[in-house]
Amino acid sequence: MPGILPMKVIKVGVNAQTRIAQACDRCRSKKIRCDGVRPCCSQCSNVGFECKTSDKLSRRAFPRGYTESLEERVRSLESEVRELKDLLDEKDEKIDMLSRIHSQSSYPIQLPSPRRPSVTPQDSATSKDEPDPDETFKVQQSPYLLGEGTDSYFAGTSSGRTFIEAFKIKVAESGRSKSDINTELLLASSLRRRLSDALSTPATPVVWKAPPRMVSDQLINIFFQEWAPMFPVLHKPTFLTLYEKYVADPDSVADKAEIAQLNLVFGVAALSSGTRASEDLSSFESQWKSALDTIINENCMATLQALILAQLYAIQLGDLTRLLTYKGLATSLSARLGLHQSQKRFALGTLTCETRKKVFWSLYTVDCFTSVILGLPKHIKNDDVHCEYPVDADDEYVTERGFQPTLPGESTRVSSALALFKAARILSKVLEEVFPAKASYDLSLKKLSELSDELDSWQSSLAPHLRLQF
């Protein structure tokens, strides 16, 4: 009907001219101007033709710059596709490198690639009862024996030597010479050789002496700020009382276990500080070694605490031989003292019970991390561990009678150790599942994913003051 405005009108140009957004079928086929009047345009009305409009527009007219915005979006999507392609290429290179590392395996390694075609429903139905070949792959440990002759010793895949060999292969493939890179500097054994040369002195009688008060105070602060929050082996108030007695009159401290603990604390702090003196370090080492040799056969908590501190010292020094010795003695003594058992079973005071928990979990954590360094099995098995975690309370608030009240909402120093203990439990599972003591084994990608999820869950559960924000 004439006079009824068209449904959609678009303004064209600066003169406010208008045209309809959709012509009828007849005007469009004749390529004549349609005024868009509904229900019948003027052109169709003049010839008595039924006016129809198929494929009606349901959208509004395009705004200015619409085409340019589409082009910009296309360019952005193309850029993202190129970045994803580079990531996929990098992942494929890593998968190929892993395949070459384990090429000695008697079974072909099949790792999942993001470029492999997806499984069809028919294939998934037929393979429902059969394990997916991509779910596991074969791993064969490289037979690394270090040293020569009968004195050679074994280093497993977690020791880092496998990664160093893979790095050498990658360097060779890039066309560079492997002789230009000294990978021995990355290993603890070379560190031990350099430090032993610096500390080596002729065998002389042990001189029992205390360091200058200014030096010892600095070392005590370093230890309780950097090491004690992660490895709460010593009860801080008890040790500080011993320290004050020692610096006031060194001759009044005659107990060899106490002397070993004091000099081990000095030594551990000296190694971790940037300004360590060889003379002081040699004095600390000679004193604690002599004292520890004296009490090594005593089955008591003080000996175990000294053995754990000695492991921390050996780790920093790179002395893997002594590390193995102290580790074996410590884990055996821990089992002898029943630290792996539930401490609720024993009628002990609160301070004694909490100290036993902290010492055990510090030893457990050291056992896990040193197993990674050495490439050897853990000494403490998870099935044997029934000891509870320590209570989240600092040493100053723990007595034999119970726990003293603390300020609500205040973070504790021992919370760092608790987080590390829980991370060590995950690391222990990784060592058992990913680096078992077998020459050849099947590694499940599903298990790797579960361990990764468990680690992510541990990270998300960290207290705010323990999280690193990047």
pLDDT in tens, 160-218: 666 677 777 777 777 777 666 666 655 544 444 444 444 444 457 888 889 999 999 99
Which residue has 């003196």 as its token pair? 277
Q: Does 341 have pLDDT greater than 80?
A: yes
Task: Flag whether pLDDT at 454 surpasses 60.
Answer: yes
Residue keyed to tokens 């950097």: 226
Average pLDDT over all residues of the chain: 79
Q: Which of 108, 160, 155 is nearest to 134 (CA)?
A: 108
Q: What is the mean pLDDT of residues 314-332?
A: 91
Percent of the chain with pLDDT over 70: 72
Measure the CA–CA gap between 186 and 175, rounded to whole angstroms: 22
Please classify residue 282 by burial: count the beta carbons closer than 10 Å to its beta carbon, then call 0-12 exposed, 13-18 middle and 19+ buried: middle
Of the candidates 307, 288, 269, the residue with the CA atom closest to the CA atom of residue 210: 288
Sorting pLDDT into bands at 50, 70 and 90, what band is 127? very low
- Scanning the structure block, which residue is given the tokens 């009159």? 249
Tell me if the pTM is above 0.95: no
pLDDT at 9 over 70: no
Q: What percent of the chain has pLDDT above 90?
A: 39
pLDDT score, position 175: 75
- Is the pLDDT at 263 greater than 50, yes or no? yes
Q: How high is the pLDDT of residue 53?
A: 82
Dihedral sign computed on CA atoms, order 365, 369, 374, 376: positive
**Structure-block tokens of residue 117:** 């075609």
| pLDDT tens by residue, 234-252 | 999 999 999 999 999 999 9
Lowest mean pLDDT, pick from 198-207, 318-327, 368-377: 198-207
- pLDDT (0 to 100) of residue 201: 47
Can you say how many angstroms the Cα of residue 338 is from the centroid of all Cα atoms in its chain?
30
